[in-house]
Structure formats: structure tokens, C-alpha cells
Structure 1
Amino acid sequence: MTQSPEPIINEEIIAEEVQVRRFERRDARQEFTSNGTIAAAVMVLAAILAVIVANTPAYEAVHHFFETSIGVSIGGVSASLTLEEFVNDFLMAIFFLLVGIELKYEMTVGQLRRPRQAALPMLAAVGGVAVPSLIYLALNLGKGGAPHGWAVPMATDIAFALGIMSLLGDRVKPATKVFFSTLAIADDILAIIVIAVFYGQTPSIPWLAASLGCIVVLAALHRMRAFAARWYIIVGLVLWVCMFNSGIHATLAGVILALFLPAKSDIRLDALRDWLGDKADLLEDVYDEESHVLGQHDFTEKAHSVERVMHRVAPPLVRVESAISTFVNFGILPLFAFVNAQVCLVGADPAAILADPVTRGVFLGAFLGKPIGIIGVTFLLVKIGFAKLPKGVDWKQIIGVGLMGGLGFTMSILIAGLAFVSEAEVLAAKCAILACSIASAAVGSAFILAATKKPVEPEVDED
């Protein structure tokens, strides 16, 4: 009886299969973390968890935890802030850095580089900011109102809205998403200006001067074509400290830093291909298949030199965005939502909240004012011949965009925390923001599903 030959195990094939699986897992992880819908869903879950926790016995312990002070002390100089301030002032500055990077990207290669093309959604954003503020003021200028919260209903949360639109699939045209993205970026610019001008503290001249000095240093780094992102980050941290003490909201340091990050490559891309070809030939010459890579010093040294050059191909703007985007979407924003969406209704009077002019002003300002402003300005500009609707976008899509504009979570809650001092007013504003965001998402989605037809896939002839 002959024995069957033992199977031959090809270690190289096994190693290759393991490597392929590793890359597949990495690609799946990158696809997951870059999905805006998933990121928006995580933030929604964090907000829901915050509301649940706020209405349980655990609320006091959680609230006390976020009131804990943290600080640093160097010699005789010390600084401290609560965990809530750390989230809202420091971590949100990183979020604003990402917003600023997206803004610079649009100004460099996106929609904002063609002012005429971007004029329609940008002016529609102005309408979507002005009308909600006017509705809020109309309901809060009387006795018992709080007119200083006029900016709360003006913001649109692009992450939430685009996440909802992504769930609607092909019902929302790609051109509509571009229109809405441009509108939301202009909306963010206006919100940033409002925060800087109207919701800062009494300015400190010495700290303002120090902030200006940091901006000059950032401009000098940019002019000297410094392409190492770490120098910009270091100066940006100093800028944050200066702005935090200056009275201007410190999160704006992130936007300023983003605007100075170089958007060009440090490498001559037209010569890169030939250079890589030469390096590839050189690496092939020095590589020894019989030796372990750790013993091939010439090969690893030359490979490392190629790696250093390739690292500099991507501009600092892209490298910083890649470094912080996942942390912002799956760390900072959910944490911000959990900290700030804690609406404690235990012991509160629902009737008093509903009757509060702040609640009505924020809810009606965003829910009605956003669609009226966005759709109204767009309709006016098209009718007078100033602009045309983008190709592939019809009025049904514009109405859907207007309805989704009332979904304003992140910026609205941030502005509410700056605008109101009274806990009752903050509670009323947060309740209105959450209710309006849910209502706008539901009504906007229902309208798009009812008014637009699902694209019919062409039939394929099996023959």
C-alpha cells in the first residue's frame, strides 16, 4: 500500500495570501471610517445616549465629571479648564481645523474657486441665515424673550444633512449634493464670522496682539514654503492659547491654521515619474532575495529615502486632514454630542419649555426660516436671470435641500452655549434644536421620497 505524497506547502503563496487579507482589512477599515453616513449615525447615537443618561440617576455623576478641572502648571504659570470646556473649546478647534481644510480645498480646486458658479448656493446660504434670525428676533423681541440668541437657528449641520441624503441613495442627484455642500460651506463661513464678532468676550489687547503675532508667524512659514506640518501645528497650538485668553472664541484658531497650511506639493510632480523609475532600478540592483531584509542595509536605506520623498508628495493640507478626519468624525463629534445634548427633562415643566419664546424662536426659525430663505433666494435669483440651476438639479431637489437645511445640530448647540447664560434658556434652545433636527430630517426625507422617482436601471439583454 503506497502512501499518498505529503502536500507541498508553498510558504511564499501563504505569505502573499496573508498580505492580501491584511490589505483587504485595511481597505475595509478605511472605507468604514471615511463613510459620512456612518459618522453621522455615530453622532446621532451619542446624542440619543446623552438624552437617555440626562434623564436617569446617572446624570448628576456625569455632569459632575465633565465639570472636573484639568490643567497644566509650568513654574509659576498655570492654566486650567473643565472637561466640558476642553471638549467645546479645544477639541472643537480641531473640528474647526477640519472645516477650514474643507473650505480651503473648495477655494483651491472645488466649487469656491469659480465665484460665478458658486454664487447661487452661497447667496442661498445668506438667505438661509438671515430669515431664521429674523423669525427668531420677531418671536423674542417682546417681553420675556432672549434676542441675544438670534444666531442659534442659522446653522446647518453638513455632516448630519449629507448623511441623511446618502441614505436616500439615487433620489438625491450628485449635482444636488454639490449644491448643498457649497451652501453648507458658506453657511459655516457665516457662522464662524458670527461667533467671532458677536459671541466673544471682552477682548484682551495683549492676548490679541499675541494672536496676531502667531498669525504673522504662520504667514511667514507659508511664504518660506515650509512643508513640514509639525511647525504649523506647534504655532497653531500657541495661537489657540492666545485666542483662548483673548476673548475671541478659541475654536477659530483651527480655521486660521487651516487657511495657512500649504495646499501644494513639496515635490516637482512632473519629474517624479522618471525619478521613481531610476530608484526602482537601483532598488532592484541592491536587493538580495537570499538575505533577510533586516540584513540588507543598502536596500533599506535607499527604500527609506524613497519613502521620505513620497511622504512629501502629499501637501501638508492633505496630510493633516488624513491625520485628524477619523478622530474628528468618530471621536470629537460624538463626544461633543454626548456632552452638549444632555437635555434633562426630569423636574422640568414641558408646558413652560414649549411656551418659552426661545424654544419657538429656535424651532420655527430653523424649521421654517431655513427653507424659506434657501428656496426663496434661489427662486428669486433664477427668476431675475442672475443664475441658473445647476445641470441635473430641479426645483424638487432645491425644496428638499431647503427642508434639510433646518437640520442644524453641531453649530447650533455650540452657538447656544455661547449665547445663553440661563440654564432654562439653554435647555429650551437644546430641546428646540433636537426637535427641529429630527423634524427637518423626517420632512425633508419624506418629501424627496414622495416627489422624486427612483431611477430605473436599464434592462440588460441576457442574449
Structure 2
Amino acid sequence: MSLPIAPKHIQSTLRRFLEGEASGGLVLMAVAALAILTANSSFAETYFDALHIYLGPLSLQHWINDALMAVFFLLVGLEIKREMLDGQLSSWSRRILPGAAAAGGMLFPALIYVAFNWSDPSALRGWAIPTATDIAFALGVISLFGSRVPSSLKIFLAALAIIDDLGAVIVIALFYTADLNLWALGGTAVVLAVLYGLNRSKVMALWPYLILGVGLWVLVFASGVHATLAGVMLALTIPLKPTPGTPEADDAESPLHRLENGLHKPVAFLIVPLFGFANAGVSLAGLSMGVFAEPLTMGIAAGLMLGKLIGVMGTVAVLVKLGIAYLPASASWGQMAGTSFLCGIGFTMSLFIGLLAFDDPSVQDHVKIGILLGSLVSGVLGAICLAAFGRRQGATAS
């Protein structure tokens, strides 16, 4: 049974999306390595001091994590909305496999982390850290194999990661929200109502949404809900379909598509690398090998390495066995295993959740080590599987 083919304009949009994310992932790999090298070099003091320089009301690191990352979440929200309404996740037949795999890929890493840290109530706050998948990193690795990996598997990975991002947004909103300011929340509701009114009135210009979006970010920041979620809220109000009969009659020219296309390069090649450079740097000075055996570090690393493999691969196997879904076209089980390992690269969103979960810098360092270890091993094992089974598939075809 073959899956329905997406319309041509959707396929081209998705292809551009995959190419942009893959290239951004390669840049992110380089930036993460540079951050670790800098944090352990003679420039370490300058690196850490610069992050704590205050520019107005916030430090440089907070401007990056709270303001610039709101733009990242805006793009995430736009991608989720587009894929759900007009893309590869627009029907239940397309949603079921990546959706179920994403759910399994969040559940099992969380269970493994909790198993490692059950006796430490304070550490349990980090249960969501290994549940995330870094779409840019994962697609960056899978892109290295070119045509040896079927495009259907790349689309599956992108769809899974998008649903995973939606899950991460919900987790952040529900479990990592500070004390609430009801006045600011009321202001947030008013701005959202105005944005919704603009959408319903078919206002197709982007500038009113973006101006109100700045005010929305300020109110969400003051409310106690993490400010980056303002980006997702704004994204959900951006119109996807243009007004019939206007010069912008092509769906690809709708406000959502225009904003999404405009944000892709700045987010992939500036904002996410800046976030990675500002947060991946961890000093290894004074750390003993024992840190790798600590429950918190091991819970994160094992959650990413094993939890994602078990959750994603196991869910896919069950659905295929029951006849509910099918493997992506032309993909083998070995390639699916490699893709499942790649889902264990949790870099950007895992770091983000880790910073929300723990305030103690020493604990944050252990979190970073667990994320870096789990993501590195997951990426290497995923690449090995894809390389091995890609060659085998090519040999068979010849």
C-alpha cells in the first residue's frame, strides 16, 4: 500500500526545509565543538564573562536564550502549523507513524532518566531533558549520506522531529513555568485575541502581527511563562491561506510561508549557532571520570542513546507488525535503526530544557556533559548504521 503523494508545491517546500535544516545542522556541529574548545582554552574566562555582561535589563546569555530563541520557537510554530494543515502531517495516514514514533521517543527516554534518578527528588526535575530531538543536528548527519538514504526516511525524521518539538513546547509550558503574574497573563490573552482577530479578518500584511508579537513577548516574559513560548503563540495566528482573488493567490505566497522562508536562514545560521555557542561550552577542568557515572549524567545519556532507540524503533516495529502503518518507502530496518539512533541527538532543545530545569551552574555542567555524551554516541551509532546498510542496499541494487 503506497502513501498519498503530497502536492508538488508542498514537496518543494519540504525539500528546501530539509536542505536548510541539514546545512544548519552541520554549522551547529562545528559551533558546538568550538564552544567546548573555547571553554577549555586560555579564552575560557573571557568566554564565560562575556555571557554575563548585562545589556539593559538582561545578560547577553539571557538575550540569546529568552529573546533570540523566541524567534527559533516562532519558526518551530510556523513549521508545525504548516505541516499539520498543508504538508506531510496534513492527514492521519501521514501523521500516525511519525506521531506514534515521536510519542514513544519521548516516553522511553523519560522513563530511563527517572529510573536512574528515582532516589533523588531534585534530579527528577530534569526528566524531560532526554526526550528532545535536535532536528538540525539529526538532519545534518543524515544528509551526509546523500542518496544512500531514501528521501522518505528523511521526511519521516523531519516529521518526527517536528512533532517532537510540539511535545517539547507543551512540556515546557506545563512543567517549566515559574510563578504566574495574572495581570501579564491577562495582557497576553488580550494581545492573542487581537492577533486572532487579524487572522479572522484576513489581514495578510505581516507587520501588524510582528509588531504585536514584540508586545506579546514582553507580556509572556513578565507573566512567568517562559518567554520563548510567545514565538509559538504568535506562529499559530499567522495566516496560512491568502485571501481568494488577491494577487497572492498561490499558497506558497501566504503570510506564513513568507515569514517561514524569511526566518529559515537567520535561525539556522545565526540564532541556533549563537545559542549553541553560548550554552554548549562546558569546562572540563577539575571534573573527574566519576561525573560520567553520576545518575543525572547517565540518565540523560542513556535516555538519549537507548530511550530514543527503544521508543522510536519499538513503536515503528509494533505499528508495522500490526499492519497499522508501513515502513517509509525503500527504507530497510537497518536504516530505520540508524534513524532511531539519530533521534537521540537532543542538543538544542535538550540544552534548553536543561537550563530551565536546573539553576545551579555545576548541575548544568553535568547536564551538558550528559547531553553531549548521549548526542555524540547516538550520532555516531546512527551514522554507522546508515553507512553500513546504505552500502549493503546499494550493493544489492547493483
> For 2:384, which of 446, 454, 461 is the aligned residue?
446
Match of 1:44 in 2: 29
Of the two, which has the highest radius of gyration?
Answer: 1
Cα drift, residue 313 of structure 1: 8.0
Cα drift, residue 35 of structure 1: 4.0
Match of 1:59 in 2: 44
Q: Distance in 2 between matches of 1:145 and 1:351?
A: 22
Cα drift, residue 168 of structure 1: 0.8
**Partners of 1:222 and 1:262 within 8 A in 2:** yes
**Partners of 1:265 and 1:313 within 8 A in 2:** no
- What secondary structure, in the 3-state scheme, does the structure 2 residue paired with 1:37 have? helix
Match of 2:368 in 1: 430
> For 2:256, which of 317, 320, 331 is the aligned residue?
317
Residue correspondence of structure 1 range 17-96 to structure 2 within 5 A: 35-71=20-56, 80-96=57-73
Cα drift, residue 386 of structure 1: 2.5
Match of 1:336 in 2: 275
Quickly say closer, same or farther: Cα 1:456–1:394, change in 2 above 3 A: closer
Q: Distance in 2 between matches of 1:216 and 1:150?
A: 34
Cα drift, residue 179 of structure 1: 1.3
Match of 2:314 in 1: 376
**Partners of 2:188 and 2:216 within 8 A in 1:** yes
Match of 1:418 in 2: 356
**Is residue 129 of structure 2 the alignment partner of residue 191 of structure 1?**
no
- What secondary structure, in the 3-state scheme, does the structure 2 residue paired with 1:112 have? coil
> For 2:180, which of 191, 194, 203 is the aligned residue?
203
Q: Distance in 2 between matches of 1:181 and 1:349?
A: 36
Quickly say closer, same or farther: Cα 1:369–1:44, change in 2 above 3 A: same
- What secondary structure, in the 3-state scheme, does the structure 1 residue paired with 2:253 have? coil
Q: Distance in 2 between matches of 1:320 and 1:354?
A: 42
Match of 2:233 in 1: 256
Cα drift, residue 389 of structure 1: 2.4
**Is residue 303 of structure 2 the alignment partner of residue 326 of structure 1?**
no
**Is residue 149 of structure 2 the alignment partner of residue 172 of structure 1?**
yes
Cα drift, residue 456 of structure 1: 6.8
Read off the aligned partner of 1:435 and give its amino acid letter: L
- What secondary structure, in the 3-state scheme, does the structure 1 residue paired with 2:55 have? strand
**Number of residues of Structure 1 aligned to a counterpart in Structure 2:** 382
Cα drift, residue 240 of structure 1: 0.6
Quickly say closer, same or farther: Cα 1:231–1:150, change in 2 above 3 A: same
**Is residue 339 of structure 2 the alignment partner of residue 354 of structure 1?**
no
After superposition, the C-alpha distances for 1:31-50 in whole angstroms (9 at most, x for unaligned) are 9x964333212211111111
Cα drift, residue 415 of structure 1: 0.4
After superposition, the C-alpha distances for 1:197-251 in whole angstroms (9 at most, x for unaligned) are 1011011111111111111111000001111100000111111101101111111
Quickly say closer, same or farther: Cα 1:349–1:456, change in 2 above 3 A: closer
Read off the aligned partner of 1:100 and give its amino acid letter: G
Q: Distance in 2 between matches of 1:362 and 1:318?
A: 36
- Residue segments in structure 1 that go unaligned for 5+ positions in a row: 1-30, 72-79, 273-308
Quickly say closer, same or farther: Cα 1:123–1:457, change in 2 above 3 A: closer
Cα drift, residue 454 of structure 1: 5.2
Cα drift, residue 266 of structure 1: 4.1
- Residue segments in structure 2 that go unaligned for 5+ positions in a row: 1-15
Match of 2:3 in 1: none
**Partners of 2:20 and 2:268 within 8 A in 1:** no
Q: Distance in 1 between matches of 2:133 and 2:121?
A: 27
**Partners of 1:145 and 1:358 within 8 A in 2:** no
**Partners of 2:335 and 2:385 within 8 A in 1:** no
Read off the aligned partner of 1:338 and give its amino acid letter: F
Cα drift, residue 257 of structure 1: 1.0
Quickly say closer, same or farther: Cα 1:114–1:407, change in 2 above 3 A: same
Q: Distance in 1 between matches of 2:333 and 2:250?
A: 45
- What secondary structure, in the 3-state scheme, does the structure 2 residue paired with 1:46 have? helix
Q: Distance in 1 between matches of 2:396 and 2:203?
A: 50
Cα drift, residue 410 of structure 1: 0.3
**Is residue 121 of structure 2 the alignment partner of residue 127 of structure 1?**
no
Match of 1:389 in 2: 327
TM-score, normalization: structure 1? Answer: 0.78
- Please provide the CA RMSD for this pair: 2.3
Read off the aligned partner of 1:179 and give its amino acid letter: F
Cα drift, residue 54 of structure 1: 0.7
Aligned-residue identity in percent: 40
